[in-house]
Amino acid sequence: MAGKGRGVGAFTFNIEALGIGRGSMPEARVGPSPLYPNTDFKPVPLKVGEDEDYMLALKQEMRGVMQRLPHNIKAQSSRADVEKYTERYLKQRQIEDEAWTPDWNLFPKELMPRTKKPRTKATKNKKSGKGSSKEAADVLSKLDELEKKDDGNAEKSDDEPEKKAKNEEEEEIEEEEYEEEDLEEDNDYIESYFDNGEDFAADSDDNMDGEATY
Amino acid sequence: MTAQEIRLCGLLLQEHFGEVVEKVGTHLLQRGAQNLRTIVQETNLSVNLVKKCLCVLVQHGACCFTSGRKGPGSPTEYRACSDRILRVLRYPRYIYTAKTLYGDTGELIIEELLQRGHMTMSGTVKTVADRLTQNMEEGHSMDYREVSSAFSKLVETHFLQRCPPVGGAGTSGTTAPAAAPAAAATPAAAVSVAPPTPESFPECYSVPHVSLIGRGKRQLVPENGEDQRNAKRAKMDTETHGDEGIYWQVNFERFHQHFRDQAIISAVANKLDQTSSEIVRTILRMSEVTTSATAACTKPLSANEVFRSLPASYNIPRHILDQYLTLLVDDPMEFVGKTGESGGGMFVVNLHRALANLARATVESIVQERFGSRSARIFRLLLRKRHLEQKQVEDFAMIPAKEAKDMLYTLLSHNLVQLQEIPKTPDFAPSRTFYLYTVNQLPTARMLLQNCYKTVANLIERRLFETKENKRLLEKSQRIEAILASLQASGAEPEQLSEVEEMISAPEKQQLDVLKLHVNKLDSAENQVDETIFILESYVSSTSTS
């Protein structure tokens, strides 16, 4: 009886005065609302028309152009990745970009590249940017040289697309080999590390063994 | 600066300037003004990379720098401008407006300037002329003079403005010799810590004399004329046109004024009729130059003046004009107000009131589309009557008590409706307290604005996800297009071409089409949410100035 009384007596006033009658209390909320709640009303369709289509085209074009401008700075790490077949096309396109040298009168002096290295690099890019067929060929040959200089990795990636066309099995085998190499390397590293540990704490190991046998 | 804004800014920066710039940009947005050393330390990027990023941000006006805030000699500090970054969302609209007002030339000028941040007049004119020539038939070319005149027109109507010259206190010592030509062209700014606004320089809208003679050049076919073109370009680059050091940027404020005027005109046309909208258009056009951007209403104009300025083609006799003006003044939307009786009555356009009304209509329609027309009725009722008790809401809205309660509580839980307690006694006893429901327009508009930012960010995120999911397919189609293009250039046979085309299978093609449809829809939605953002943003900013 007392328990029931307490439940009812939580309100020290007549709740009818609030306009909340018996049974008309809204349901209590349990937990947070769902991430994708059901909507009672479906959204209105987008406006369609010539204006909207043109602006859509403008937007997409703008995005494409901005990504190709020198203002769009690529992350350095992406270059270290294994070269893909498609990247050659993309690279060719990027080479045609002109380097961008801002008017330093408008910028704080401290932003000027101080070291000589990046500057020379920039001018090189600029030259290739002019993009005569001869120079483009030079660049390509240089890229090839760089590829050859790189060890196994680059060659493999070079072969990949051709092999894909020929035979998938071969590629799989190759991948397996590759993985094995990796594993070996890993093992080498771990063994050497383990050796060090043994040398250092040989005594304690012996003790441990002794305890275990007893 | 809210979390939603920072998220959206980050996504926009990432899409347009790459991930590294995004990292520096969001860092600046989160931490406020910082100097170069701190940025390098806290972002863990290399110094040169950070420098490059800052250059990009400054170039696009997304970041401003001041020096000597903490006394003379203290390092330069960089501060990201979130407002400017959010403008990226509206780029298509600026370009499209320029197209409707000034044709293809205007469109390309604005587009180039938006892409590059700021440029010299000669540089812009040359690039635009070259691009136009590219699109013309063989044998035709665009004259530089034509483009220059379009450029001057854009400057005259204030759609373009000069970039403010750099005049910081700390840098003046080191940059004085280098900045001398710029300072000579535009009188040196008063040394102040606050960043100067472009409008504060007297020559902001004066076009320098540019000696540019010639026509746009067509990009020649690579094989035959390559060396020749290189030589030509090298020669061109060294030429001076007399406007070095004077850079131009897009005046977003002016564009926003134009959008606002257009919104008012179309609202009048929808509410009343075409003729009255033309009258409002005339009043707005007459006061375009004389009214400042932040004014609450236009300069008063007499009915006589309006009558004289009405284009003859409208054929509105004087007495009809008077009737229309009375009608506009009496309209509850209060777009047009009467300030005096002289000269047949003095009339103004209440710009801020109009913005508030447009924002209210936007909020109302959002409630209607989200919660249905009956909830919208309750919402409008509360807007009009200000404070109502629950019982009164049920009665006035003529909705059964139970449903009305449900709707009211839903609105309350979405923060669209606020609850005000007024106790009769100081103990806040519920039985002796009035519970009044009310709608505060400004906070509601602010909240919806944040929701809009969130929506756009979600749209972008979704689009990135869709493209990422289909990356392989997109790359494949790109590759095939490249092969097709190279084949076509080398004059391959049609069978060969069709063979390459068949490398994309039918289901793949279908998937690509679906993807394209989705991306288009998402992009279009971004554009259209921005229209709502514009209305709400201008309303919020108009309340802060008045």
pLDDT surpassing 90 at residue A30 = no
Q: What is the mean pLDDT of chain B?
A: 84
What single-letter DSSP state applies at residue B143?
B
Q: Which pLDDT score is estimated for B197?
A: 61
The answer, for B62 touching chain A at a CB cutoff of 8 Å, is: no
Q: Which pLDDT score is estimated for A39?
A: 77
d(CA B147, CA B125): 6
B125-140 mean pLDDT:
84
pLDDT in tens, A92-101: 544 444 467 7
B377-386 mean pLDDT:
93
pLDDT in tens, B521-531: 999 999 999 99
Q: Which pLDDT score is estimated for A23?
A: 62
Q: Which pLDDT score is estimated for B226?
A: 40
For the ranges A80-94, B84-98, B236-250, B434-448, the lowest mean pLDDT is seen at A80-94
Q: Which pLDDT score is estimated for A119?
A: 40
Work out the pLDDT band at B459, boundaries 50, 70, 90: very high
pLDDT surpassing 50 at residue B32 = yes
CB B450, CB B4: distance < 8 Å: yes
For the ranges A205-214, B446-455, B480-489, the lowest mean pLDDT is seen at A205-214
Q: Which pLDDT score is estimated for B204?
A: 72
Helix (H) or strand (E) holding B526: helix B506-545
pLDDT surpassing 80 at residue B220 = no
Work out the pLDDT band at B287, boundaries 50, 70, 90: confident
Chain A residues in contact with B116 by the CB 8 A cut-off are 69, 71
Chain A residues in contact with B15 by the CB 8 A cut-off are 63, 66-67
Between B521 and B313, residue with greater pLDDT? B521
pTM: 0.75
Work out the pLDDT band at B8, boundaries 50, 70, 90: very high
pLDDT surpassing 90 at residue B340 = no
pLDDT surpassing 90 at residue B438 = yes
Helix (H) or strand (E) holding B348: strand B346-349
The answer, for B525 touching chain A at a CB cutoff of 8 Å, is: yes
d(CA B299, CA B288): 9
Do residue B528 and residue A46 have CB atoms under 8 angstroms apart?
yes
Domain B354-439 fold = Arc Repressor Mutant, subunit A (1.10.10)
| Phi, psi of B168, deg, nearest 5 | -85, 155
CATH no. for B255-349: 1.10.10.10
Work out the pLDDT band at B184, boundaries 50, 70, 90: very low
Q: Does the fold of domain B255-349 match that of domain B3-80?
A: yes
Measured between CA atoms, how close is B20 to chain A, in angstroms?
A: 6
CB B60, CB B96: distance < 8 Å: no
Q: Which pLDDT score is estimated for B246?
A: 84
Cα dist. A32→A28, A36, A64, A139, B448 in Å? 12, 12, 41, 59, 21
Do residue B115 and residue A18 have CB atoms under 8 angstroms apart?
no
Specify the long-range contacts of residues A93-97, CB closer than 8 Å, at least 24 apart. Answer: A93/A68, A94/A68, A95/A128, A95/A129, A95/A131, A95/A136, A95/A139, A96/A129, A96/A131, A97/A68, A97/A69, A97/A70, A97/A125, A97/A129
pLDDT surpassing 50 at residue B158 = yes
Between B223 and A92, residue with greater pLDDT? A92
CB-based contacts of B196: which residues, under 8 Å, 6+ apart?
B164, B167, B189
Q: What is the dihedral of CA B479, B484, B485, B490, to 10 degrees?
A: 130
pLDDT surpassing 50 at residue B182 = no
Work out the pLDDT band at A153, boundaries 50, 70, 90: low
Q: How many CB pairs under 8 A join A and B?
A: 163
B453-476 mean pLDDT:
93
Work out the pLDDT band at B230, boundaries 50, 70, 90: very low
Do residue A66 and residue B15 have CB atoms under 8 angstroms apart?
yes
B328-357 mean pLDDT:
90
Measured between CA atoms, how close is A146 to chain B, in angstroms?
A: 23
Q: Which pLDDT score is estimated for A143?
A: 79
| Count of beta carbons in the 10 Å neighbourhood of residue B164 | 20
Helix (H) or strand (E) holding B223: helix B222-238
| Domain regions of chain B by residue span | 3-80, 255-349, 354-439, 444-485+512-545
Q: Give the 3-state secondary structure of residue A135.
A: helix
pLDDT in tens, A52-77: 999 999 999 999 898 888 888 776 54
Chain B residues in contact with A66 by the CB 8 A cut-off are 15-17, 115
For the ranges A183-197, B94-108, B196-210, B511-525, the lowest mean pLDDT is seen at A183-197
Measured between CA atoms, how close is A6 to chain B, in angstroms?
A: 19
Partner-chain residue, chosen from A26, A39, A105, that has the shortest CB–CB distance to B406: A26
Angle between helices B91-116 and B506-545 (to 10 degrees): 90
pLDDT surpassing 90 at residue B514 = yes
Do residue B15 and residue A58 have CB atoms under 8 angstroms apart?
no
Q: Give the 3-state secondary structure of residue A129.
A: helix
pLDDT surpassing 70 at residue A130 = no
Find the closest chain B residue to A105 by CA distance: B179
CB B121, CB B246: distance < 8 Å: yes
Could you tell me what percent of chain B has a pLDDT over 90?
Answer: 48
What single-letter DSSP state applies at residue B521?
H
Q: Which pLDDT score is estimated for A133?
A: 60
Angle between helices B91-116 and B252-271 (to 10 degrees): 170
pLDDT surpassing 90 at residue B86 = yes
The answer, for B237 touching chain A at a CB cutoff of 8 Å, is: no
pLDDT surpassing 50 at residue A124 = no
CB-based contacts of B236: which residues, under 8 Å, 6+ apart?
B126
Q: Give the 3-state secondary structure of residue B4.
A: helix
Q: Which pLDDT score is estimated for B133?
A: 87
Q: Which pLDDT score is estimated for B75?
A: 84
Q: Tokens 């045609």 appear where?
A: A96
CB-based contacts of B467: which residues, under 8 Å, 6+ apart?
B474, B515, B519
The separation between CA B389 and the C-alpha centre of its own chain, rounded to angstroms, equals: 41
Q: Which pLDDT score is estimated for A116?
A: 44
Q: Which residues of B103-133 are buried (b: 16+ CB within 10 A; e: fewer)?
A: eebbbbbbbbbbbbbbbbbbbbbbbbbbbbb
Select the CATH number that applies to the domain covering B3-80 from these four: 1.10.10.10, 3.40.50.300, 3.20.20.80, 3.40.50.410: 1.10.10.10
Q: Which pLDDT score is estimated for B186?
A: 36
Do residue B390 and residue A76 have CB atoms under 8 angstroms apart?
no
Q: Which pLDDT score is estimated for B191?
A: 34
